[in-house]
Amino acid sequence: MLRFLARRLAQSVLVILGVTLVTFLISFAVPADPARMIAGRSASAAEVASVRHQLGLDRPLPVQYLRYLGHLVRGDLGRSYVQRIDVSTVVESRLPATLELMAGAIFFELLLGLPAGAFSAARRGTRADKGTMVLSFIGVSAPQFVVGLLLLYVFGYLLDLFPLGGYGGLANLFLPALTLGIAGGGWYARQSRSSMVDALRQDYVRTARAKGAGEWRVVLLHAGRNAVLPVIAMIGLDIGNFMQGVVVVEAVYGWPGIGQLAWQAIQQLDIPVIMGVTIVAAVAIVLGNLLADIITGALDPRIRVR
Amino acid sequence: MNEDMTKRPIRRRGLLGTAASASFLAAAGRLPGFGVGRAEAAAAERGGQVLVTFQSDVATLDPAIGYDWQNWSMIKSLFNGLMGYKPGTTELIPDLAESFTVSADGKVYTFKLRSGVKFHNGRTLTAEDVRYSIARTIDPATESPGQTFFSAIEGYDQASAGKGPLTGVRAVDPMTVEVRLADLDAAILHKLALNFAFAVPKEAVVQYGKDFGKHPVGTGAFFLKEWALGQHIIFTRNADYFTPGQPLLDGITFQLGQDPTVALLRFQRGEVDLLGDGIPPAQFVSVMNNPRWRKDVVVGTQLETSYITLNTRVKPLDDVRVRQAVNMAIDKERIVRIINNRAVVANQPLPPAMPGYDPNYKGYPYDPAGAKKLLAEAGVGSGFPTALYCMNVDPNPRIAQAIQQDLANIGIKADVRSLAQATVIAAGGTEGEAAMVWSGGMGWIDDFPDPSDFYYPILGCGGAVKGGWNWSWYCNPKMETMAKAADALVKPSEAAQRIDMWRKIFVDLMGDAPWVPVFNEKRYTVHQPSVKAPDESIFIDPINIPVNYNMIYKTNA
């Protein structure tokens, strides 16, 4: 197990290093001139050049990249061109909101996905099964900004049950978490259905049935217990999915997390912030995958050997 | 936690306010009639808290750095400069200064400060603070985007390079500031009214260092009470503010990160007082057609012009007849319809609200037949291929296509190049590169309401350099001489004569047709009926967008 962990960790570091290199190179392909942004539109070419020198942007690319890595190791993500504040300060102040949103989303996707999957598996082949799977497919594939605006309009504006966006208590959290949870829930429904169908084929289920256990008892207790563990391990992978989802959902609901930060930074071409958020997201995804590996490895020793 | 504490009182304040005003009216009703109406009016004409929404986070509130339309007027409510503007107008008035004098040669400006002006930290403002603040903006370490505005001040070159002091600004005594110019600059008073010249206390700048923009301390009508990054900013009324009777509001909450569509829904439910980002384009038609919401919209103009640059150094546009023909080929009315009539047709570089605009100038008529005749005279009667650059954000590509069709009607085959903003700016600023540029999305909005701001950077020889903004590469020595002569009229008594000269410059240069002026964008400010101002012009204040926060108040009705 330790060797397995060490190997995974080493791979993770390589992945993150790769992400820094790619984001760094992309930031040079983006048609934004930070020096011009800082110097203002009326600045002369000489003034822009002097700002460029001050930022170190006139040095060779490899030198700039190494300098960037050096700062990164010390936890320095650079300074925002637009906000003129340390990127780490901005990211830090926004991370709690995103974590809160993710927790809410995990709650909803499990709440929606697991029962739907179990129900479908128990009713395999029936219209109810097909109906549930079609619904889950819609949930997975519906664009989140549409789902978000729709929920907001119906439950927030027309029915007046929830606040129209913004950050605060559980009432504010409900709709954005649900929007993220609907997509994840559809995914979970499909996964838990197949893992449940698998479990229902096992010998111990036949044994339970033979003992005369009721159908729901068989599905929920005997098969469910075994089917749910691999599904839980997916939560780690979810973090990656969320990182895409939060950008859209946070923008729609005015949720002050790092997704909204990324959205704004992209619109303003604030490269240090875009890079900072990308790296934080990459680290989160890598950690999530690591977590998933550890859980599955712990559950199934066969995986560790591979 | 913070959010709960800030949001709830505001929501409740509406209810409490209504109850309070009802009992006030009931009490007033029982009093004898005399004087009641006046007392009631006086009581209602100030006060209240407003909630303003914005989509973007506020970048910075440092007056030396903030340079977007969102923080520009917020900063104006936190800080002051030597000069300011009469609310709702483009009329310059002394602000931190009580009065000023100009030397006979127009190179020395002496400002007498108001007495008893206090910073938010309680310290009294002195002439040294004014000097320090201007020098700070020019200091390259500050990385201000507004440095260049002060290039006429003596010692600018060394100070802006970090090689010496700014000798041109001096605190003569604690109440007197002297600004000495190396070159005449008729717009210097406007420049001293820019946010970049606003007074900041040195001790606060030293204390917060590079984060001063998140902890602003000024002399303004409001002070910053709270800033939750990415969430909200709260301004509270400065009871010690030096302008009597201002501000009218007790406080403002700016809620940030609000999607404009959602903000509109909240506005329609009465939760939001003022839409910072205005009406989202997708909802514009439905809001304007709905009588319930239409009356909350105040329409004004902006000091903005959108135009097509015609590169005078690219063949065959180097022939004035070809440029005139292009001016006559463009159906501007149709372009305005493309953007849902959110603009008025333009015929000259200056927007109508800018001093120097000529209401009698008729411009080029829409006359494709006449345009074809001019092309034939210029020897390109069968048309020619050319390129039209535009920014790749809606509606600009659609507008560029309309221009392309208009040009095709007279035989000009324009290749539309829809590109990222920075790429278009780079192409425009490279000699001989972009034959035509549609300026939409990058158009010139004024820095200060003076016609010279629409000449030097975008139509003067100085802007026709690599990386400049004169994308027509128009450089006419005759105009340069006239501009110089106009800007030599620096005495306040010569102001009207100077504006007349600028008016003539812009009309004359339209004879050379370096641009096709297409439209001036309109401004739509949306506010609840309970948000009021002494005068409607406050809602379309040319200096403050979306509104002059010092001059609005909220009634409980």
Helix (H) or strand (E) holding A37: helix A34-39
Chain A partners of B148 at a C-beta cutoff of 8 Å?
40, 42-44, 47
- For tokens 């490279």, the residue is B430
Rounded CA-CA distance A220/B285 in Å is: 54
CB-nearest to B148 from A42, A85, A269 is A42
Cβ distance of A94 and B62 shorter than 8 Å: no
Residues 7-26 of B with CB under 8 A from A: 7
Tokens of A93: 């102040």
- Min distance B288 CA to chain A CA atoms (Å): 20
Nearest alpha carbon to residue A51 among B69, B68, B65: B65
- Single-letter amino acid code for the residue at B123: R
- For tokens 């729609």, the residue is A252
Helix count and strand count (H, E) for chain B = 18, 21
Q: How confident is the model at residue A235 (pLDDT cuts 50, 70, 90)?
A: confident
Rounded CA-CA distance B370/B325 in Å is: 7
**pLDDT for B3 beyond 50:** no
Comparing A100-109, A295-304, B9-18, which segment has the lowest mean pLDDT? B9-18
Rounded CA-CA distance A162/A280 in Å is: 31
The answer to whether B465 contacts chain A (CB < 8 Å) is: yes
Q: Is residue A86 a contact partner of residue A279, using CB atoms and an 8 Å limit? A: no
Chain A partners of B213 at a C-beta cutoff of 8 Å?
83-85
Alpha-carbon distances, residue A8 vs A167, A238, A291, A304, B154 (angstroms): 37, 18, 10, 11, 64
Cβ distance of A264 and B149 shorter than 8 Å: no
Chain A partners of B453 at a C-beta cutoff of 8 Å?
none
| DSSP assignment letter at B352 | T
Cβ distance of A94 and B257 shorter than 8 Å: no
Across B136-164, average pLDDT: 91
Rounded CA-CA distance B261/B280 in Å is: 6
Q: Which of A41, A54, A255 to mutate to test the interface with B (most CBs of B within 10 A)?
A: A41
State pTM to two decimals.
0.85
Chain A partners of B467 at a C-beta cutoff of 8 Å?
36, 45, 48
Helix (H) or strand (E) holding B190: helix B188-192
- Residue B5's pLDDT is 31
Q: Which of B6, B60, B191, B231 to mutate to test the interface with A (most CBs of A within 10 A)?
A: B231
- Min distance B173 CA to chain A CA atoms (Å): 33
Among the residues of A55-152, which ranges form H helices? 61-73, 87-122, 127-141, 144-151
Rounded CA-CA distance B304/B331 in Å is: 19
Angle at B198 between CA B197 and CA B203, to 5 degrees: 115
Q: How confident is the model at residue B61 (pLDDT cuts 50, 70, 90)?
A: very high
Nearest alpha carbon to residue A166 among A91, A92, A99, A256: A256
Q: How confident is the model at residue B198 (pLDDT cuts 50, 70, 90)?
A: very high
Chain B partners of A166 at a C-beta cutoff of 8 Å?
3, 7, 255, 258
The answer to whether B282 contacts chain A (CB < 8 Å) is: no
Chain A partners of B394 at a C-beta cutoff of 8 Å?
none
How far the first Cα of chain B sits from its last, in Å, is 30
Q: What digits encode the pLDDT tens for the residues A73-88? A: 888 888 888 888 899 9
Which one has a higher pLDDT value, B69 or B416? B416
Decide if domain A93-270 falls under CATH 3.40.950.10: no
**pLDDT for A156 beyond 50:** yes
**pLDDT for B37 beyond 60:** no
Chain B partners of A92 at a C-beta cutoff of 8 Å?
none
Chain A partners of B56 at a C-beta cutoff of 8 Å?
264, 267-268
Q: What digits encode the pLDDT tens for the residues B167-177? A: 999 999 999 99
- Min distance A241 CA to chain B CA atoms (Å): 22
- Min distance A152 CA to chain B CA atoms (Å): 8
Cα torsion through A284, A285, A286, A292, rounded to 10: 110
CB-nearest to B56 from A44, A48, A264 is A264
Q: Which of A167, A248, A249 to mutate to test the interface with B (most CBs of B within 10 A)?
A: A167
Cβ distance of B147 and A156 shorter than 8 Å: no
CB-count exposure of residue B527 (10 Å: 0-12, 13-18, 19+): buried
Sorted by where each begins, the domain ranges of chain A are 93-270
Q: What digits encode the pLDDT tens for the residues B365-417? A: 999 999 999 999 999 999 999 999 999 888 899 999 999 999 999 999 999 99
- Residue B557's pLDDT is 58
CB-nearest to B7 from A54, A168, A269 is A168
- Min distance B6 CA to chain A CA atoms (Å): 10
**pLDDT for B142 beyond 80:** yes
Backbone angles phi, psi at B555, to 5 degrees: -95, 165
- Single-letter amino acid code for the residue at B553: Y
CB atoms within 10 A of CB B198: 30
Chain B partners of A164 at a C-beta cutoff of 8 Å?
262, 265-266, 269, 271
Tokens of B163: 């090689």
Rounded CA-CA distance B217/B360 in Å is: 46
- For tokens 């100085």, the residue is B462
Rounded CA-CA distance A254/A166 in Å is: 5
Across B523-549, average pLDDT: 89
Q: Which of A53, A84, A92 to mutate to test the interface with B (most CBs of B within 10 A)?
A: A84
